[in-house]
Amino acid sequence: MAICWLNGQFVPEAQAQVSIFDRGLLFGDGVYEVAAVFGGRLLDADRHLVRLERSLAAIAIPSTHSAAEWVALMQSLVDQNGIDEGLVYLQVTRGVAERDFAFPASVTPTCFAYARKKALSGDPHAHGIALHTVADIRWARRDIKSVAMLAQVLAKQAAKAAGAYEALMHEDGVVTEGGSSTAWIVQHGTLLTRPLSHDILAGITRDVVLELAAQAGIPTVERAFTLNEVRQAEECLITSATSFVLPVTRVDGQVIADGVPGPITMRLRDAYLARAATLTARSA
Ligand code: PMP
């Protein structure tokens, strides 16, 4: 029986319920995080919880738990559900109140978390994925990890309908990010990704991959790039907490380079997996 955590209690998922007046449901008034589980341990939970605090502060939801408290309850979910590889999802909404747009005078945030199994080290998508390009129609604060994601729902549905694994979002031909991932290309041996701003989510995997590239002596440049540059790239890749580093071999049906995972991409994927194994290794 799958166990989740809701407002301070561990309960069977089937019994976890929230009000129809929860502002997360009514307005998408909430934020979330997803962290990977590797070797039965949370990966980079500290970095995810720093971003959670930033998202909460950006929309003035008071923080309900310390990072240590979040880590303890997330790890407990991993243990109770027997997850070796997978993820923990956690969400905080402004809470339950009469439906009125402005913040309620007094309200307690709704918090919940659940865990899921997912193959991470043996992800079949590591053989190469297809992207489908869509116009980025999201709001102007994509750095806030908001649960209001209708634009991504539509983008990823369009990708799925086109037989692609992920959407590649762009504004007038300039790439912003993947539907739920950071987008990268390799050009003249240099790894490119868009610089941080309100235009994209500050990916935790993005940060780690920039660090790993520096350690491996792979040159990196943070600048925006176009769909044309993607089509002509030596390599294209996406990153996210629960896909790590995935090679892109097709965009809108067109083959990228020679249509096989690129060497820099696979070096970074291997380095990412090695780091994950080291960080989550249990001391005997
Ligand atoms: N951009 C968007 C829009 C996302 O939803 C995600 C996944 N959370 C990412 C980027 C990648 O972020 P992270 O590496 O922290 O998972």
Are the CB atoms for 133 and 227 separated by under 8 Å? yes
The atom number, within ligand 1, closest to the CA of 142 reads 3
| Ligand 1 proximity of 243 Cβ (cutoff 6 Å) | no
Task: Calculate mean pLDDT across residues 52-65.
Answer: 97
Separation of 181 CA from ligand 1 center, angstroms?
4
- pLDDT tens digits along 217-276: 999 999 999 999 999 999 999 999 999 999 999 999 999 999 999 999 999 999 999 999
Res 282: pLDDT: 75
Residue environment code for 253-262, b if the CB has 16+ CB neighbours within 10 A, otherwise e? eeebeeeebb
Give dist(CA 131, CA 124) in Å, integer. Answer: 16
| Ligand 1 proximity of 209 Cβ (cutoff 6 Å) | no
| Ligand 1 proximity of 55 Cβ (cutoff 6 Å) | no
Res 283: pLDDT: 57
CB atoms within 10 A of CB 220: 15
| Ligand 1 proximity of 193 Cβ (cutoff 6 Å) | no
From the list 224, 221, 269, 278, the residue with the least C-alpha distance to 247 is 269
Span of 72-76, 219-223, 280-284 with lowest mean pLDDT: 280-284
Are the CB atoms for 228 and 195 separated by under 8 Å? no
Q: Does domain 124-281 have CATH number 3.20.10.10?
A: yes
The atom number, within ligand 1, closest to the CA of 205 reads 14
The atom number, within ligand 1, closest to the CA of 177 reads 1
Separation of 207 CA from ligand 1 center, angstroms?
11
Q: For helices 204-215 and 45-58, what crossing angle results, to 10°?
A: 130
Show the CA angle centred on residue 47, arms to residues 194 and 141, nearest 5°: 45
Ligand 1 atom 8: residue of nearest CA: 180
With pLDDT > 70 as the criterion, what percentage of the chain qualifies?
Answer: 99
Ligand 1 atom 10: residue of nearest CA: 181
Complete DSSP assignment for 232-249: T-SEEEEEETTTEEEEEE
| Ligand 1 proximity of 176 Cβ (cutoff 6 Å) | no
CATH for the 3-117 domain, from 3.50.50.60, 3.30.470.10, 3.60.150.10, 3.40.50.300: 3.30.470.10
Query: Would the pTM of this model clear 0.85, i.e. be above it?
Result: yes
- In a mutational test of the pocket of ligand 1, which residue from 211, 240, 244 has the highest number of ligand atoms less than 8 Å from its CB? 240
* Residue located via tokens 């580093």: 245
Q: What are phi and psi of 103, to 5 degrees?
A: -60, 140
- In a mutational test of the pocket of ligand 1, which residue from 87, 201, 272 has the highest number of ligand atoms less than 8 Å from its CB? 201
Domain ranges of the chain: 3-117, 124-281
Are the CB atoms for 34 and 89 separated by under 8 Å? yes
Are the CB atoms for 21 and 31 separated by under 8 Å? no
| Ligand 1 proximity of 201 Cβ (cutoff 6 Å) | yes
DSSP 8-class letter at 195: P
| Ligand 1 proximity of 146 Cβ (cutoff 6 Å) | no
- The mean predicted confidence, pLDDT, of the chain is 97
Catalytic residue numbers? 145
Give dist(CA 67, CA 58) in Å, integer. Answer: 17
Task: Calculate mean pLDDT across residues 156-173.
Answer: 98
Q: Are strands 30-38 and 86-93 parallel, antiparallel or unpaired?
A: antiparallel
- pLDDT tens digits along 183-213: 999 999 999 999 999 999 999 999 999 999 9
- pLDDT tens digits along 109-118: 999 999 999 9
* Token reading at 86: 């997978």
Amino acid at 266: M
The atom number, within ligand 1, closest to the CA of 51 reads 15
Separation of 98 CA from ligand 1 center, angstroms?
32
